[in-house]
Amino acid sequence: MRVVFVDNLLFEDAEGIRRYILQPHLGLISLISVLEAAGHDGLLFDPKVEICRGNLAMDRFLYRNIAAAILALEPDAVGFTSLGCNFICTAKTAGYLREARPDLPIMLGGPHATVLDQVILTTFRQFDVIVKNEAEETIVSVVESLKRGTFEGVPGISFVSNGTFKTNSGNSLIANLDNLPIPAYHRYPIMELGLTSLRVDAGRGCPFQCTFCSTASFFGRQYRLKSADRLRRELDHLNAIYGVSDFSLTHDLFTVNRRKVLEFCDAVEGRGYTWKCSARQDCVDDELLARMRKSGCTSIYYGIEAGSERMQKISKKKLDLGIFEKTLSTTQRLGMSATVSFITGYPEETKADQDATLELIGSCFDKDLSPLNVQLHLLTPEPGTALLTQYQNDIAYDGHISDFNFPTLELDDGTVISSYPQVFINHHYFPAALPRDRHIFVTTIYQHLYGLGFPLLRYVLRQFRRNFANLIDAMDDWRTRRGRSPQADQCTVEDFFGDRFGRSHHIAGLVRYMLQATELRRRSSNELLRHNRRSNGDEPSLSLSSRSALVLGVPDCSQILELLSDDRASSIPSDLLSRRYDFLLCLSDHDKNHVVNFKLNKPSVAAFSYLFEPRCKADWLTFETSTGYPAPPEEFLMEYLARGVLEVAGDTLAS
């Protein structure tokens, strides 16, 4: 059988910028590998790759287009994986597949479907079968049963037969992950994408039971880690085939078993690999961190979740916040980067609890010893969590799309989502002590404030008694008085600082500059596989490219930001603060995360401003009369077209 497995379409938060991260789905390539060993053919379809290739767009035709692209692979069966955050995309795409090929068997698996098998199968008839839990030990018999057309006796699945929901027991957790074959990485375009880092399935399960997290229900709180020897073999294999030596060890909580982690460190040390993992701060210590660092660990993800002891207790995360500062400092001192992730929106969270979280976040802006990524997320109701069991009758829907949720694309998406709250639970929200608007504002404004970067945030906080909660309060107060939406965007940040300090104030200028630079970096993430079309010699309409932006009337921001990054610089010379310039910002050709700037003279500002709209040759005849400057020579336009500052109209990056 030729089975096409379909990955999720979702963004991820990487260093404060939402991107499509292109990596093979570890569960699906594991299943493909098992199927291949049994003589079947397994393909992996990743919609993110197709978006980055420019073959799919985030528009109202997306679901139909994904279905068409899957059919073009001529499958005998299709298997969707599922996460709650984008299940609307999965369900609708499967619906279009069913419409186009009613005879094509469609499987569904993954955490969301495992927990919600009954309601999904009885609501969305496009799915023939849900394969529950970890599926390596069952997938072959499921696929073979698709050929036979009967699911009776197949372990670990749910299906509907003659209108009745049925579920077969079986497929418990895989006790020894070492028995699994090496996942089918060859089914992902690793070389085409030029991937220099790969995710590796290190193990599964977490013994803790935080009330907001569904891991415990999916993996039965059973922590398992592949043996050090097996993991080393897996890394060696990927290194030999793809030349990759940087790995992201995927596991809910890699460091639960100290002894096993030390064994892993021993096994990989000296092989020239670098690796990242996730940890609880109370599941590491100085000695372990030093050992991890020595064996190649470069980055650790710490889920902190709340800055108040009270919420730590209520959410059963039970992390001792007293170790936060020390653990983070040790991690950074050893030269590792870190991500610390926080949540707001808990039902019981008070203003004091939220302030404590914001203050802890604010304290992180002082720590740029090594790269630190500080995330703040809006609590999402997840199926299979204790929190949802407690509040399931009180959840509500208002259409807000959080950073964890997929946007609505088709006209009826919102109606479908609100009609089936149990299935689309992730799009809903819990009742809470704090107003919903406050949660939306805090989490959306945070995404944009974060783009200002630590040096500027530190500088700005000086105006707010060095307290991040004070800044957020001032902004929330301002937006309420102005009657602005709680859904904050870049303009909210720009307008707040403009109103507060005056548009020509150096802080407002620095904020505008950094917002634009971050926006360019965000756009660059989708550029991966696009190739800018260059002029074809006809008369092209040119416009300022989506890789560039103008920032006008601001101080010499890069010089000031450099001073602000240097802790020893106590003040900024006043003439540096008072002079104003016009800048063209542009993504560097060499490093997509790097933005370069050019100071512009007035005629260049006029020319680039004119190019906000697409202009053809004839338009330039009126340039001088409308701007007062002579039209730029053709070489000027061609040079900037070649540099990517200008583009042929219509050839923009997805935003």
Residues that bind ligand SF4 (CB under 6 A): 206, 208-210, 213, 215-216, 252-253, 280, 303, 317
List the single partner that 81 binds among ligand SF4, ligand B12, none, CB under 5 to 8 Å by kind: ligand B12
180: left (phi over 0), alpha (psi -120 to 50) or beta: beta
CA atoms lying within 13 Å on the CB side of residue 106: 29
Pick one of ligand B12, ligand SF4, none as the site partner of residue 253 (Cβ within 5 to 8 A by kind). Answer: ligand SF4
- Nearest residue to ligand B12, scored by beta-carbon proximity: 27
376 binds, among ligand B12, ligand SF4, none (CB under 5 to 8 A by kind): none
Indicate which of ligand SF4, ligand B12, none lies near residue 112 (CB less than 5 to 8 Å, by partner kind).
ligand B12
Nearest CA to 447 among 510, 501, 368, 515? 515
The answer to whether 144 and 164 have CB atoms below 8 angstroms apart is no
> b vs e for 375-410, b when ≥16 Cβ sit within 10 Å of the residue's Cβ?
bbbbbbbbbbbbbbeebeeebeeeebebbbbbebeb
Separation of alpha carbons 182 and 31, rounded Å: 10
| The token pair that represents 47 in the structure block | 């919609």
Q: Which is nearer to ligand SF4, 96 or 254 (CB)?
A: 254
Q: Could you tell which of ligand SF4, ligand B12, none binds residue 208, using a CB distance below 5 to 8 A set by kind?
A: ligand SF4
The conformation of residue 348, written as its DSSP 8-state character, comes to T
Q: Take residue 561 and report the two structure tokens written for it.
A: 């930001």
Which residue, 321 or 563, has its beta carbon nearer to ligand SF4?
321
CB-nearer residue toward ligand B12: 79 or 498: 79
Least CB distance from residue 371 to ligand SF4, whole Å? 22
- Whole-angstrom Cα distance, residue 248 to residue 246? 7
Cβ distance to ligand B12 smaller for residue 201 or 234: 201
Strand 246-250 and strand 337-344: the pairing is: unpaired
Nearest approach in angstroms of CB 295 to ligand B12 is 21
Task: Give the C-alpha separation, 631 to 646, whole Å.
Answer: 16
- Between 25 and 317, name the residue whose CB sits nearer to ligand SF4: 317
8 binds, among ligand SF4, ligand B12, none (CB under 5 to 8 A by kind): ligand B12
How near is the Cβ of 569 to ligand B12 at its closest, in Å? 37
11 binds, among ligand B12, ligand SF4, none (CB under 5 to 8 A by kind): ligand B12
Q: Two tokens at 462?
A: 């000086």
What's the min distance (Å) between Cβ of 130 and ligand B12?
Answer: 8
Looking at beta carbons only, is 407 or 650 nearer to ligand B12?
407
Q: How far apart are CA 276 and CA 403, in angstroms?
A: 23
CB of 53 to ligand B12, least distance (A): 19
Nearer to ligand SF4, 133 or 526 (CB): 133
Residue 645 interaction partner, one of ligand SF4, ligand B12, none, beta carbon < 5-8 Å per kind: none
40 versus 251: smaller Cβ distance to ligand SF4: 251
527 binds, among ligand B12, ligand SF4, none (CB under 5 to 8 A by kind): none
> Nearest approach, Cβ of 377 to ligand SF4 (angstroms)?
12
Query: From the list ligand B12, ligand SF4, none, which binds 107 (C-beta under 5 to 8 Å, kind-based)?
Result: ligand B12
By the 10 Å C-beta count (0-12 exposed, 13-18 middle, 19+ buried), 530 is classed as: middle
CA distance 490 to 493: 5
Our CA dihedral for 142, 144, 146, 150, rounded to 10 degrees, sits at: -80
Closest approach, Cβ 82 to ligand B12, in A, equals 7
Out of ligand B12, ligand SF4, none, which partner does residue 303 contact, by CB within 5 to 8 A per kind?
A: ligand SF4
Tokens of 363: 């304290």
Q: For the CB of residue 352, give the shortest distance to ligand B12 in the complex, in Å.
A: 24
* Closest CB to ligand SF4 among residues 254, 513: 254
**Rounded to the nearest 10 degrees, how much is the dihedral formed by the CA atoms of 157, 161, 164, 169?**
-20
Backbone angles phi, psi at 370, to 5 degrees: -140, 165
Shortest spacing between CB 24 and ligand B12, in angstroms: 9
What's the rounded Cα separation, in Å, for the pair 349 and 347?
Answer: 6
Considering CB distances under 5 to 8 angstroms, the limit depending on partner class, which of ligand SF4, ligand B12, none binds residue 26?
A: ligand B12
Write down the least CB distance from residue 236 to ligand B12, Å.
20
3-state secondary structure of 30: helix
213 vs 449, beta carbon nearer ligand SF4? 213
- Closest approach of Cβ 621 to ligand B12, in Å? 49
- β-bridge partners, 41: 2
d(CA 202, CA 247): 10
- Total residue length of the chain: 655
**SS3 category, 200:** strand
Cβ proximity to ligand B12: between 307 and 384 the closer is 384
Nearer to ligand B12, 77 or 645 (CB): 77
Locus of tokens 């890394």: 235
Task: Find which of ligand SF4, ligand B12, none residue 280 binds, CB within 5 to 8 Å per kind.
Answer: ligand SF4
Q: What type of residue sits at position 449?
A: L
Q: Is the four-CA dihedral 265, 266, 267, 270 of positive or negative sign? A: positive
Nearest approach in angstroms of CB 206 to ligand SF4 is 3
Tokens 């059963």, residue located:
316
Q: How far is the CB of 23 from ligand B12 (least distance, A)?
A: 7
Q: How far is the CB of 39 from ligand B12 (least distance, A)?
A: 17
Question: Please, are residues 71 and 100 in contact by the beta-carbon 8 Å criterion?
Answer: yes
- Nearest CB to ligand B12, comparing residues 12 and 651: 12
Sign, CA torsion 155/159/163/166: positive
Using CB under 6 A, list all residues that contact ligand B12. 8, 10-12, 25-28, 30-31, 79-81, 83-85, 107-112, 115, 131, 134-136, 139, 201, 204, 213-215, 218, 250, 252, 380, 382-383, 404
In sequence order, what are the beta bridge partners of 48?
Answer: none
Chosen from ligand SF4, ligand B12, none, partner binding at 10 (C-beta under 5 to 8 Å by type) = ligand B12
d(CA 411, CA 498): 36
Return the number of the residue (112 or 367) whose C-beta is nearest ligand B12.
112
